């Protein structure tokens, strides 16, 4: 549908904003361009409606090289939502939405009907809003108008440059959902620029990750989440999201949250009693502030029991390995296997004990997951 | 305080004479301004489109502006002879700079993103100018017209020196014959005209801005 072939773009000041880009956007799909600020998303998007012309390479829409199409004609056939809304402040909402149909010389009645239809589509009552000026609308309403202005002449290709960026999280989510719902009806070929990964995951059929003028990875959200091409992609997706989507829980979801602990100055008999009480064969040693110090096993205590003056701190061992709450469970299990330890302490970034990952807790977690999977099947 | 009653007496007794002078005055100003708009707006647009030409055009218009009015009118008289026409041409020249400059500045002040939206939506350069950029720069243009109108009302009082009419006629006659009431009449009405133009255009401008 939209094909970019070997595109480079050098701005007049010599800056190379796009380097050797080739890209395919399928018909009827939403392709999300995502990447850090300044990576060339807007530059790339503007190539598609010839607001920018490539330094080398070509862009094809429906197989046609667009450098052979008159730019004005081309732009009228492509919906465009610009990065900063860009409503015409001196025209009322109806005029704004009807801009392209008017340029295409539709008759008045048809334009009026289309405008009302579109306002209804995004839940703006035509009676109320038709005659208002953009400044008399909230930011979210303005962005809605920006979006339907792009839809007005029913173009098959729509370009949206961070259309929801100026919104508070709630309106943004609302508009994202509206877009997804809308897209099910209208089936447009949409190129959508964002720098919000959650937004891309939510609405896109394909995600294109960019970095300093190059495409780093292009695939379905599923592919990108499951097989991030490199560290940059992983970082961009974020560890939290990766784990959430990849279905591997972080250690914090599996660990025992209040492990049995003692302080280093406790006596042995006392500690023994706690262990008996809680039915554990070793105990974690922490100071008053919950800093991890080490551990003591029941055998250590038995060995030193005769000496009444012995304190826990005299016989404790320290840990060589700890994990943090965000460590993926798989990684922690591998670690436990390799080190042949029965448990691993979980420390937060301040070095305080958050919990304990034990074999028992892993079995419990896997068991409950298995359970829910079974229930899901039945 | 005597001059106030003198002034009123004079106005009462010469009512129709003054009305015709005022009308003359207004006519010269309006025609001068209209010509300045017809020439100044396109020049302002050219400035907007071409930075190099902008420098040349604005510099030329500024030179005209700082030329003493009496001298300018004198020079024009050599080319256009005596009379109404010459005054109008003079007023045209004097109004040109504020109109060119404000058209230019107004167009430059239009939010780049809005122009980009217009272009992106498929407007031609002309459509963009007529439908988006010029309407949005209208408040600036009006500010220019306002300045130009006030200047023009003042300069137009010099009309009698080059054979024109208008309120200057009474002022000059009053000076020559040492008739204070005549001077007051011409000057006060001319001043009122300037204030009236200033306020009225200012109002329209305000309304456009909100
Ligand atoms: N007209 C221009 N002339 C020179 N350099 C430009 C021009 N427009 C953009 N650039 C540069 O090209 C690079 C890419 O810009 P672009 O606007 O495409 O970034 P982006 O990915 O859309 O960023 P953002 O997320 O901030 O919108 C930037 O480094 C920018 O400074
Ligand atoms: Mg951008």
Pocket (CB within 6 angstroms of ligand 1): A 11, 13, 15, 17, 37-43, 83, 195
Rounded CA gap, B135 and B132, in Å? 6
State ipTM. 0.81
Print pLDDT tens along chain A (378 aa).
899 999 999 999 999 999 999 999 999 999 999 999 999 999 999 999 999 999 999 999 999 999 999 999 999 999 999 888 889 999 999 999 999 999 999 999 999 999 999 999 888 999 999 999 999 999 889 988 999 999 999 999 999 999 888 778 887 888 898 889 888 888 899 999 998 888 998 899 999 999 999 999 999 988 888 788 898 998 888 877 776 666 677 888 888 888 889 899 888 888 888 888 888 888 999 998 889 999 998 888 888 888 888 888 889 998 888 898 888 888 888 888 888 888 899 998 888 899 999 888 888 887 776 555 444 443
| Same-domain status, A321 and A233 | no
- CA–chain centroid gap for A252, Å, is 21
The alpha carbon of A200 and the centre of ligand 2 are apart by a number of angstroms equal to 15
Measured in angstroms, the CA of B122 and the nearest CA of chain A are apart by 5
> Could B118 and A73 be called an inter-chain contact, meaning their C-beta atoms sit closer than 8 Å?
no
- CA–chain centroid gap for A121, Å, is 27
**Residues of the domain holding A279:** 252-367
Domain assignment present for residue A64? The answer is yes
| Same-domain status, A240 and A259 | no
| Same-domain status, A70 and A190 | yes
Contacts with B19 (C-beta within 8 Å, 6 or more apart), sequence order: none
Residue of chain A nearest B137, judged by CA positions: A90
| Same-domain status, A184 and A36 | yes
> Could B132 and A88 be called an inter-chain contact, meaning their C-beta atoms sit closer than 8 Å?
yes
Domain assignment present for residue A104? The answer is yes
φ and ψ at A24, to 5 degrees?
-125, 125
Strands (E), chain A: 2-10, 16-25, 30-34, 56-61, 64-65, 78-81, 157-161, 189-194, 206-211, 214-219, 261-262, 282-286, 292-297, 343-347, 353-358
- The count of structural domains within chain A is 2
| Same-domain status, A280 and A240 | no
The alpha carbon of A202 and the centre of ligand 2 are apart by a number of angstroms equal to 20
CATH top-level class of B2-209: mainly alpha
| Same-domain status, A6 and A91 | yes
Domain boundary among A201, A228, A245: A245
Q: Which two tokens stand for residue A87?
A: 């409503």
| Same-domain status, A96 and A232 | yes
| Same-domain status, A209 and A272 | no
Q: Which of B116, B117, B135 sits opposite A90 (nearest CB)?
A: B135
Q: Which of B114, B122, B131 sits opposite A75 (nearest CB)?
A: B122
Q: Judge if pTM exceeds 0.80.
A: no
Residue of chain A nearest B135, judged by CA positions: A90
């Amino acid at each position: 549908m939209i094909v970019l072939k070997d595109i480079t773009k050098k701005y007049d000041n010599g800056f190379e904003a796009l380097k050797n880009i080739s890209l395919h956007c399928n018909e009827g799909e939403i392709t999300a361009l995502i990447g850090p600020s300044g990576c060339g998303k807007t530059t790339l998007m503007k190539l598609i409606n010839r607001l920018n012309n490539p330094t080398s390479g070509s862009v094809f829409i429906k197989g046609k090289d667009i450098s052979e199409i008159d730019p004005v004609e081309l732009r009228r056939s492509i919906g465009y939502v610009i990065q900063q809304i860009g409503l015409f402040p001196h025209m009322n909402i109806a005029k704004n939405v009807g801009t392209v149909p008017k340029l295409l010389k539709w008759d008045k009645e048809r334009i009026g009907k289309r405008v009302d239809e579109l306002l209804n589509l995004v839940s703006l009552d035509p009676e109320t809003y038709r005659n208002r000026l953009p400044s008399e609308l909230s930011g979210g309403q303005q962005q809605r108008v920006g979006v339907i202005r792009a839809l007005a002449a029913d173009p098959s290709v729509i370009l949206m440059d961070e259309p929801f960026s100026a919104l508070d999280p709630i309106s943004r989510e609302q508009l994202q959902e509206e877009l997804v719902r809308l897209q099910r009806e209208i089936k447009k070929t949409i190129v959508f620029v964002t720098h919000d990964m959650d937004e891309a995951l939510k609405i896109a059929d394909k995600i294109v990750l960019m970095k300093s003028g190059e495409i780093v990875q292009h695939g379905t959200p599923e592919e990108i989440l499951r097989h991030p091409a490199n560290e940059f992609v992983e970082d961009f997706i974020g560890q939290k999201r990766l784990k959430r989507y990849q279905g591997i829980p972080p250690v914090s979801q599996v660990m025992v949250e209040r492990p049995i602990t003692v302080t280093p100055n406790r006596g042995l008999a006392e500690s023994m009693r706690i262990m008996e009480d809680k039915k554990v064969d070793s105990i974690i040693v922490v100071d008053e502030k919950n800093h991890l110090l080490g551990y003591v096993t029941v055998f250590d205590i038995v060995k030193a029991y005769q000496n009444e003056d012995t304190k826990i701190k005299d016989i404790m061992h320290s840990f060589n390995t700890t994990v943090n709450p965000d460590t993926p469970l798989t990684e922690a299990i591998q670690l436990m296997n390799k080190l042949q330890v029965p448990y691993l302490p979980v420390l937060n970034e301040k070095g305080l004990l958050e919990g304990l990952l034990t074999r028992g807790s892993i079995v419990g977690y896997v068991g409950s997951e298995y359970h829910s999977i079974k229930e899901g099947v039945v | 305080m005597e001059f106030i009653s003198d002034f009123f007496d004079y106005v009462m007794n010469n009512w129709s004479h003054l009305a015709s002078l005022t009308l003359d005055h207004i006519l010269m100003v309006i025609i001068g301004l209209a010509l300045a708009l017809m020439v100044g707006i396109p020049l302002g647009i050219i400035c907007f489109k071409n930075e190099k030409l902008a420098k040349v055009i604005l510099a030329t218009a500024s030179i005209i502006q700082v030329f003493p009015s009496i001298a300018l009118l004198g020079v024009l008289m050599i080319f256009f002879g005596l009379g109404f026409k010459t005054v109008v041409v003079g007023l045209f020249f004097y109004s040109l700079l504020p109109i060119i400059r404000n058209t230019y500045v107004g167009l430059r002040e239009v939010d780049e993103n809005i122009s980009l939206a217009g272009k992106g939506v498929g407007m031609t350069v002309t459509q963009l100018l007529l439908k988006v950029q010029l309407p949005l720069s209208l408040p600036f243009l009006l500010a220019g017209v306002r300045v130009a109108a006030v200047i023009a009302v003042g300069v137009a009082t010099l009309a009698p020196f080059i054979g024109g009419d208008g309120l200057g006629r009474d002022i000059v006659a009053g000076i020559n014959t040492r008739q204070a009431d005549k001077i007051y009449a011409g000057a006060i009405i001319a001043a009122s005209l300037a204030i009236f133009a200033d306020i009225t255009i200012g109002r329209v401008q305000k309304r456009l801005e909100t």
